[in-house]
Amino acid sequence: METYPKRNNNNKWKPLAFLLIHSVAILIFTRGFLLTRTELPFHSTCSDASLSPCLSLNSDHNQNQKCWTKPVVDRVVIIVLDALRIDFLAPSAFFPEAKPWMDKLTVLQNLAFGNESSSSAKIFKAFADPPTTSLQRLKGLTTGGLPTFVDVGNSFGAPAIVEDNFINQLVLNGKRLVMMGDDTWTQLFPNQFHTSYPFPSFNVKDLDTVDNGCIEHLFPTLYKDDWDVLIAHFLGVDHAGHIFGVDSMPMINKLEQYNTVLEKVVDILESQAGLGGLHENTMLIVMGDHGQTLNGDHGGGTAEEVETTMFAMSTKKHTPSVPPEFDTSSCKQDPDGKQICISSIEQLDFAATLSALLGISFPFGSIGHVNPELYALGSSSLNLDNTELGNFGTQPAVKEWMKNYVNVLCVNAWQVKRYIDVYSNSSVVGFSSDDMSRISNLYSAAEHHWSKSVKHLLMNNDGNEDSTNTSALKEQITAYLNFFSSVAELARSKWTEFNLTLMITGFGMLVISLILQSLAIFRGDKPYAVGSGLSTGAAFTLFIVLIRACSFLSNSYILEEGKVANFLLATTGLIKLRYSLMSKTMRKEACIFLAMVSVLRVSIEIGLTKQAATSQFMSSSPTWMLGLAPDHPALTYAIETAPIISLVVLICVLYIAVAKTATEGIWKYVTAGSMINYFLIALLWSSESQIFGLDGLLQVIGGRNIIPQTVYVIGLVQLFVLASAHMFCAGKDKNWAIRAVALVSACSSPVILLSGKQGSMLALAYLLAGYCIMRLEGVERRTKSDGQHKFSKLDPLRVVQWSLLSVCMFFASGHWCAFDGLRYGAAFVGFDEFVLIRQAILLTIETFGFSIILSVFGLPLLLPFHSQTPQAHGARRHQLFQMYLLYGVISATTVTATILCVTIHRRHLMVWGLFAPKFVFDVVGLILTDVLICLASAYYL
């Protein structure tokens, strides 16, 4: 007869020790992997340009020039339409199929393609560099650099930019700035604006506050003369995308509203564009900071996210043409047979181009170049010799423009080369000698051509228009553009500095922690640890864990992580089915388990469409799921009633669980509170539906936020009661079943609420699958004839199944390991105003609720509860501790494999678009798992 040791309280400290080891290891690795590029403290000044080889900027010829380049526009109006897709502005003729959201900004299309304004207005296809979050894009637009991935974490608390930037240069050069709209600008550039009207930007459910604030201040400001640069940042399109998606009426309504606003802006500018008018020489720029997917997401590096657009218009109606060699236009024919063209521009070039247009110093760290087509739009104010009104497309005018532009590029190239040299010498790693040699050779070749040919041509401006001079100018421009292209390519490929020593140290600490955790499992108390001999089941379990870990070495398998986990879970289910058929027991449970796995497989497919957060969960692909049209009454009825029915089933399950439990007291009352919460959630969803006739209920009870807030309050009270009961009633109640049910049900209410109408159905599937895992535990041992039917040894396969099921729940609920997989709208369920800590907690609960929170706290439910003897209770307690250790090992193995993956692929093309987000999600998940294991150990053990 086996004896069981008494309760060992030292076991509670082991999860805490592993939490500390994991935290330190991840911190060290992160310091090596997610290092920001070195931000140099230097700032450009007007006097710096005297060091360049370019034409003297203080000569009599350029006596009106104040800084590096001659200003060609007096004022600039920058209107940022957040998340502006290219197909929001470009005509539908440029796309294979016309969509409802296209051709809504008609005022800009008419200006760009109309006969009268075609020379002074242009539409660009703009390319942003990932990550495509607003903070990083604004930083890139204003500094002319490439913000690194680590800055994504600052998107919810933007720090002030200390690096030299376009806004700082405007202030240093005495320009007056006015800003209105997204308050991110005032966070990035505090005390830089002459006047500012910031509005809170994080409530994605609010489509109008920021936009209405912009409109309120925009029109009156355009009539004032106390500013030089006006910035208006609208957010409605971005928020409409996050909540409703691109193909939605709120999105179309927003675009139509913007069209009306822009029409009035253009009217104001043109009405005062005459000689001596307030906007005689003003440039209007309407642009997006990034794009968005059809589901309204952004943050990654897909084509939909990095492709945005820009519209530029000069109030000067006649601007010089760009030589065809430097024209990036792509042309199509509209339905009327007219040829329409759009150009292209890199957002990297925005800061340098605007600096040249306004005649200020370029930001010290800018690596972009002055875009020829955007610069040409403002060049009508230049003193172009031998040109007359209406002749701006003639050869003399084009050559005169090239003379001005090539000198601008000369200063631009000198500035970029200076920065690259200083950066390489100041940074810890810098660029390799081969890279620097290649860059230096390109610049030297361009400078040699400049000194020997072009500089003398510009200084001896004798009016000679022969083709040799024109060819020399074009060659010089091409040489500079090649240099800029090479620098940008180098920066994009090697911008981040990796510290391999720290990365390897962090990886090594995680490997050591895995060894220690494994020893704690395999060499723990003998009756409860995994047998010292590696059984077939343990070997199979190890194989499942390792094959999933190895899959992270491939970017393709990371993209299909949910499907991989589901496949492995189905594999374990088939093994269980085989043994159940052999033993002729638990066949029903094995079949139900495989059915739930199949349901999750379909849910993963639907979840990846990012429609699972709404009632579209079941209707996203109705044609192949049910063979019904999307608007079929039966389908609509099923979609609206299925979540309610699932909640009713969950209430019944809780009632049965409580009724069959002999334990009295606080645990049952807590579980009853969960049933009340389920009822409130069902009431909320019913009132939001059109088929239950409860439309006016929310107004009667005081608004849509009352029920969610009530659910949160009840949940907090439940957790407080459970914590108090554990502290004051420790040891008095050994019935784990009711304690686990009470805790899991208390946590499940907010998770279901925040997950939307899919939440109750996923919770029901999770419950059924978990029940089957518990019932099928040890089924393979029942095929043996030795009669040893004991649960004294840890069965690792059920823990692995539970872990794989949790991963499936993450993807089935519509998430994936990318920042555009976060559902920011869930952070505002029950609240309208933005409070950082509160919204961060709600977003965390929604993101990791099913996959981590319920999974960790629900692990004791996998244990069979047959006997209530002290010996059986002691056995289960020690077995549960081993299960938590094994669950932690599985999570740590996943993160260790991810860290190995990002270390190997740190120079991979998709490192910032795929591997780095995967790393962030996994390490956050591991730390959260370790913290919850510590809490669960304290609660259960």
Give the chain's length.
Answer: 941
Q: Are 364 and 515 in contact (CB under 8 A)?
A: no
pLDDT above 50 for 936: yes
Question: Is 364 in a helix, a strand, or coil?
Answer: coil
Strand order in the sheet with 177-182: 195-199, 177-182, 229-234, 75-81, 282-287, 307-314, 121-127, 339-346, 330-333
Q: Are 65 and 57 in contact (CB under 8 A)?
A: yes
- pLDDT at residue 118, as a whole number: 46
Any residues with CB less than 8 A from the CB of 305 and at least 6 apart, and which? 128, 130, 132, 290, 291, 292, 293, 297, 298, 299, 820
Q: Are 363 and 144 in contact (CB under 8 A)?
A: yes
pLDDT above 90 for 161: no
Name the least confident of 97-111, 363-377, 464-478: 464-478
d(CA 806, CA 862): 14
Taking the alpha carbons of 837, 839, 844, 845 in that order, is the dihedral positive or negative? positive
d(CA 750, CA 849): 9
d(CA 196, CA 177): 8
Q: Name the band, by pLDDT with cuts 50, 70 and 90, for residue 359.
A: very high
- pLDDT at residue 265, as a whole number: 96
d(CA 342, CA 18): 57
Name the least confident of 163-177, 352-366, 526-540: 526-540
Q: Are 184 and 159 in contact (CB under 8 A)?
A: no
Q: Name the band, by pLDDT with cuts 50, 70 and 90, for residue 932.
A: very high
- pLDDT at residue 153, as a whole number: 39
User: What is the pLDDT averaged over residues 865-894?
Assistant: 79
- pLDDT at residue 398, as a whole number: 78
pLDDT above 50 for 534: no
- Most confident option among 229-238, 534-543, 631-640: 229-238
Q: Are 252 and 104 in contact (CB under 8 A)?
A: yes
Identity of the amino acid at 843:
L
Question: What does the mean pLDDT of the chain come to?
Answer: 83
d(CA 512, CA 500): 18
What's the token pair of residue 16? 């805490």
**Residue 123 belongs to what H/E stretch?**
strand 121-127
What's the token pair of residue 21? 């080891």
Q: Which residue has the tokens 């339409």?
A: 81
Per-residue HEC secondary structure of 714-754 comes to: HHHHHHHHHHHHHHHCCCCCCCHHHHHHHHHHHHHHHHHHH
Helix, strand, coil shares of the chain, percent, nearest 5, are 60, 5, 35
Question: Is 87 in a helix, a strand, or coil?
Answer: helix
- pLDDT at residue 609, as a whole number: 56
User: What is the pLDDT averaged over residues 777-785?
Assistant: 61
- Most confident option among 215-219, 426-430, 817-821, 910-914: 215-219
What's the token pair of residue 552? 């992270």
Identity of the amino acid at 830:
G
Pick the more confident residue, 248 or 690: 248
pLDDT in tens, 170-213: 999 999 999 999 999 998 999 899 999 999 887 788 899 999 99
pLDDT in tens, 818-837: 776 788 788 888 888 888 88
Pick the more confident residue, 442 or 160: 442
* Nearest-5° Cα angle at 207, 82 to 312: 30
User: What is the pLDDT averaged over residues 627-644?
Assistant: 72
Taking the alpha carbons of 398, 403, 408, 413 in that order, is the dihedral positive or negative? positive
pLDDT above 60 for 649: yes
Question: Is 778 in a helix, a strand, or coil?
Answer: coil
Name the least confident of 400-409, 788-797, 851-860: 788-797
Closest listed residue to residue 517, CA positions, set 73, 881, 911, 38: 881
DSSP structure string for 612-643: TTSGGGTTSSHHHHTS--TT-HHHHHHHHHHH
What's the token pair of residue 328? 């990036």
pLDDT in tens, 40-66: 889 999 888 888 888 765 444 444 446
pLDDT above 60 for 651: yes
Name the least confident of 118-127, 160-169, 430-439, 661-670: 661-670
pLDDT more than 70, % of the chain: 82
User: What is the pLDDT averaged over residues 212-239?
Assistant: 95
User: What is the pLDDT averaged over residues 21-38?
Assistant: 84
Closest listed residue to residue 479, CA positions, set 453, 452, 455, 449: 449
Any residues with CB less than 8 A from the CB of 153 and at least 6 apart, and which? none
The pairing of beta strand 307-314 with beta strand 282-287:
antiparallel
d(CA 715, CA 707): 12
Name the least confident of 198-212, 258-272, 340-354, 382-396: 382-396
pLDDT above 60 for 530: no
pLDDT above 90 for 485: yes
d(CA 313, CA 122): 7
- pLDDT at residue 492, as a whole number: 80
d(CA 643, CA 668): 25
What's the token pair of residue 670? 């807590």
pLDDT in tens, 109-137: 999 987 654 458 999 999 998 778 788 88
Closest listed residue to residue 369, CA positions, set 350, 389, 394, 387: 350
pLDDT more than 90, % of the chain: 46
d(CA 176, CA 192): 9
- pLDDT at residue 898, as a whole number: 93
- pLDDT at residue 456, as a whole number: 74
Q: Are 36 and 56 in contact (CB under 8 A)?
A: no
Pick the more confident residue, 100 or 316: 100
Q: Which residues pair with 805 in a beta bridge?
A: none
Q: Name the band, by pLDDT with cuts 50, 70 and 90, for residue 412.
A: very high
d(CA 176, CA 222): 14
Identity of the amino acid at 862:
L
pLDDT in tens, 264-316: 999 999 999 888 899 999 999 999 999 998 888 787 777 898 999 999 999 98
Any residues with CB less than 8 A from the CB of 579 and at least 6 apart, and which? 779, 780, 782, 783
pLDDT in tens, 729-764: 655 555 677 888 899 999 999 999 999 888 999 999
- pLDDT at residue 401, as a whole number: 84
pLDDT above 90 for 22: yes
- pLDDT at residue 523, as a whole number: 63
Q: Name the band, by pLDDT with cuts 50, 70 and 90, for residue 615.
A: very low
d(CA 44, CA 934): 53
pLDDT in tens, 432-449: 788 889 999 999 999 988
User: What is the pLDDT averaged over residues 864-883?
Assistant: 70
d(CA 767, CA 593): 10
